[in-house]
Structure 1
Amino acid sequence: MIPLPTREIAPGAVHAPSWLTLDEQRHLVRACREWAAGPVPIRHTVLPRGGVMSVQTVCVGWHWHQYWTLTRV
């Protein structure tokens, strides 16, 4: 499917060198940064036992709050 030499980094994760040009990579990075700028910013997720993820994540749907409680109005 990909006409370039590829290398499987992990099951399902494939590195395809030169798949995107440098300008295409820059455009993709700019687009992701713009998308992650709001309304909920990109962040390091804090795990239930207090650890912090080394990667940053951004919400792509409902804004899930780990300690959300529902109250009746």
Structure 2
Amino acid sequence: MDNVAQQEVTQREMMKIIGLFRKNGFRGEYETFDRGEVQDEYMVVLTDEKSGVKGLFKVDLGTGSIEFQHVVMD
């Protein structure tokens, strides 16, 4: 795994990710932010405030895309 994937997500990156989620109508509690395998890609666990469902999302800040991956079961 390369060095970029091992670095922690910065506060500034988290704010950009949260802004992208809000722009797309997502609201809830963010549990984790992890770097993806390529630059500008992140994996985020978010619990939806309305439904209470926790999901894993792939976020690409370069393209502004959010892709639902799967429901996370505790």
> TM-score, normalization: structure 1?
0.30
Which structure's residues are more often strand, by fraction? Answer: 2
Greater length-normalized contact order (CA 8 Å, ≥ 6 residues apart): 2
Structure number, greater radius of gyration: 1
